[in-house]
Every structure is written in structure tokens, then in C-alpha cells.
Amino acid sequence: MSDVVRLEFRNVSMRFVEATGQSLTAVAGVSFSVRDGEVVSLIGPSGCGKSTLLNIGSGLYAPSEGEAYVDGERVEGPNAHVAFMLQKDLLLPWRTIVENVMLGVEIQGLPITERKRRAQALLENLGLAEFLDRYPHQLSGGMRQRVALARTLAVDPTVLLLDEPFSAVDAQTRIVLQRELAQTLKRAAKTALLITHDLLEAVTLSDRVLVMSRRPGRIIDEIQVDLPGRDDPIARRHEARVNDYVSRLMDRLDIGHDSLNTAGASA
């Protein structure tokens, strides 16, 4: 694992003003970094500020205090180093699959030949080569998420920010998509920060898992995942120590004593 830091949060706090005029602190004093080629999962109770941190890292929010850095540069707005993948695929229904994947590089101004080359290569790697000219409504939910992943990778970002990208698909499709994501990240040597409520997903996809407290969110634990084969989360599921990691995460989140949705922990 490289020592080069790709994404860093330094003492980040974020406050919002509610409609009542009261101030709400979403995250407080959060500091951590993600190294080159590393996959880190961020878990915590709903409302603890996980998505807020991704919005800050992508430049969509400016923190109330502290700074975020990508490739050593302070984040002061959206930039080409970062790509964001959300829970919903948000594909444009009037564009074909290949045209949807080309959207980001089209905005970047790449020549049409390079756009098509990137999009076609990514779709082929994700098993969608025969669907280039189809439209989103002609694809299953899992296939649409693969297209969304291809669109995210097409802009060749340094850092991928993934906000529960598989929460909208069924359990079987989710496992397949987890493997495809892991293999794609490994093949492309990408750095990723993943938000998930699925504790098993966090363990099987990640090099490290960061645990956040209730709001205002703080980092309360960092767990190094010492399991082989991060690029094969299905194989990792069969490792004897997986349940130990999941149990530790459940203990840190005090599951059974709060309202966190933990369905993924037993998946």
C-alpha cells in the first residue's frame, strides 16, 4: 500500500442552520486520510454526517471549520480529481447507455473518439458490451448501477466517493456488484471512500473501516481489515475471521441498543 495520501480531512466540522434558526452540528473535529489505492469504508448511525463528509470531500460543501484535501490540494469546489457515485443511478433516460457513460468526459471536453473508447472499454469490463445502444429503461436495476459505475470511472478520477451505491438493489445483485466494484477498483488502481450501512459489505470491500459516533459525528474507531483478497469480496465472506470483524463493528455501534438499520450485518 502506497504512503501517498489521496484524500484527507483535517479537523473538519460542519454546522447547518435549520428552518427554526437553530444551529445543528453534523460532524465535529473529524480527521482522517485515505492513501493511494486504498478502499476505506465509513459506517455509523443514520444522521451522523457520513454523507456530509463526502459532500465536503467532493467540494459540494465548504466545511464550517477545518479543511479537506485531494492530492495535497485544498478542496475549494468540485474538481476533476474526484467522482461521486450515489444510491440512485440517475441515468438520463433519453441517452443510450454508452452516451450516459460519456456524459462526464463530454463535459470535460474530450474528443468524441476518446469518449467512445473509454465508455466502450468500461462497459465491456463490466459485462455490458452488448447493451451499448440500449436505453436505461431497458436494463435491470443492477445493470443500471454498473452503468453508473462506468460513468463514474470514465472521468478517470483520483478518488471515488461512493454513497451506499448498492442499497437500492436486491441482496443477490448486491453481492455481484460488490465483486465487480472490488475488481474494477483493483484493476484501475483507484482510491475510494465508501459509505455503507451493511457491515459485511464494509468488511469484505475495505482495507480499513472507520466508525462514526452519533451526531455530531466523530471518528470513534478505526479497524484495519487484515483479510486476503480485497478484490474478491465473495471469497472474503468465507474467511473465518469475517464474523469477528462484523461483531466488533456491531459492538462499536452498540447495535441492539439503538435504531441503526443493521440488516446488512447478517447478510
Q: What is the CA radius of gyration of the chain?
A: 18
In the chain, which ranges are continuous DSSP H helix?
A: 50-57, 97-101, 103-108, 112-125, 141-154, 171-188, 199-205, 233-236, 242-253
Q: Are 160 and 128 in contact (CB under 8 A)?
A: no
pLDDT digit string, tens, across residues 35-90: 999 999 999 998 899 999 999 999 999 999 999 999 999 999 988 889 988 888 89
Q: Quick one: pLDDT at residue 108?
A: 85
Using DSSP bridges, classify how beta strands 65-70 and 159-163 pair: parallel, antiparallel or unpaired.
Answer: unpaired
Q: Give the chain's residues under pLDDT 70.
A: 1, 255-267
Query: Is position 66 within any domain?
Result: no
* Per-residue pLDDT at 265: 41
Q: What is the DSSP letter of 74?
A: E
Using CA atoms, how far apart are residues 130 and 122, in angstroms rounded to an integer?
12
- 122 part of a folded domain: yes
Domain limits for position 202: 31-54+80-260
Q: Does residue 67 lie within any of the structural domains?
A: no
Q: C-alpha cell of 103?
A: 456524459
Q: Report how far residue 58's alpha carbon sits from residue 69's, in angstroms, rounded to the nearest whole number.
A: 10
User: Would residue 68 count as lying in a domain?
Assistant: no
Residue 106 lies in a domain: yes
| Model pLDDT, residue 1 | 62
The pLDDT score that the predictor gives to residue 48 is: 92
pLDDT of res. 80: 83
Q: At what angle do helices 141-154 and 112-125 cross, to 10 degrees?
A: 130
128 located within any domain: yes
In a domain, 73, yes or no: no
What CATH number does residue 136 fall under? 3.40.50.300
Q: Is residue 174 domain-resident?
A: yes
Q: Which helix (H) or strand (E) holds 31?
A: strand 23-35
Half-sphere exposure of 237 (CA within 13 A, CB side): 15
Q: Which residue in 240, 262, 264 sits closest to 253, CA to CA? A: 262
pTM over 0.95: no
- How many folded domains does the chain comprise? 1
Give residue 91's pLDDT.
93
